[in-house]
Each structure stands twice: as structure tokens, then as C-alpha cells.
Amino acid sequence: MIFVVEVPHVGDAHAWFAFDARDLLSKVVVDDALQSWEVHDTTTARELLAMVGQVPDSPQARGAFPGICRLADEYGLDTVLFRADYLLERGCYQPQAVTVEAACEAALKSRVTPEPQEGALKDVRMYWSEEQAVLALEGQDPFLALQGNWRAAHALREQLLSLDVLAEN
């Protein structure tokens, strides 16, 4: 499981969990300005051309969608391409792998602002396993020990208790 602790500028910290990377993505995009496929996507140049009804290597495709054709020319029609708008340039596809986890973490971190704004967070913490979350509570994450962050620690503890990761003492 993956655990997320969000600390808003106004209000109490809260924690939530995702079963795996796909579940994390589905939960991250609920409150995001971007679509799921903008936060993280994998595709090929062939699939992109098919989505817009174009035949690869046709003059019509080259004229109407030069960017997709450049991807096909550079990487091949069937090379898996990754999109993660919070990590890469908006709308950029690349052959270097981007994990769902990294894309979601970047999306969540984009919500952190130094000044209070509508929907903005003061901080966010992610723990990639039950073990990491428990160790964070036991002092491994200095963030939770900072003055004023007891609410974040409490929110994580409550989440772990509700999922029977921790036992009530």
C-alpha cells in the first residue's frame, strides 16, 4: 500500500492510501486540473495517429500532425512513449520510462505552495509501503516530529489503525 499525508495551509492534515500505482493515479486525478492521461500515460506514435484517424507515413498525417510524425521518425511507430506533464514539458512524450508513482508524486507536489491558495497544500508526504509509513511514525521521518506537525502524524496513525497496519495499544 501507498500512504499519502496532505497538510493544507488551512485546516487539519489528513492521510489516505492507495492499494497500488494504478489506484494512486485514479485517486490523484480526482482533484487534479489535468486529465488522467496528462498526469501519466503510455502510448506509441502509431496509437496517437490512430486516435486522430490518420494512417502512418501518409502525406495527410505529416501535414496535419507533424509532431506525432516527428515522434514516429525519431523513435519508430511502435516504441512505447511516456507522458507525465508534471515531470516533463506539457504534452511531451519521451521513450525514457516514467513510472506512475513518479508522475503521481509530481502531481501531488505541484499542489504545494508557499502561500495559502484555494486547494493548495503546505506540504505532502508519501510513504511507498506499510513499513515506510510505520517507520515514519517511529521517528524515521523528521517532518512528522517538527513542531506543529503532530496533526500530520496523527492523521497517518489513524489511517494505519483503520487499515489494521497498526494495532491499538
Per-residue model confidence as pLDDT tens digits over 57-75: 899 999 999 999 999 999 9
Using the predicted structure, report yes or no on whether residue 166 has a pLDDT greater than 80: no
Residue 80, pLDDT score? 98
pTM for the structure as a whole: 0.90
Question: What average pLDDT does this structure show over 89-118?
Answer: 95
The whole-angstrom separation of Cα 163 and Cα 159 is: 6
Using the predicted structure, report yes or no on whether residue 39 has a pLDDT greater than 70: yes
Question: What average pLDDT does this structure show over 49-61?
Answer: 93
Residue 57, pLDDT score? 87
Residue 158, pLDDT score? 95
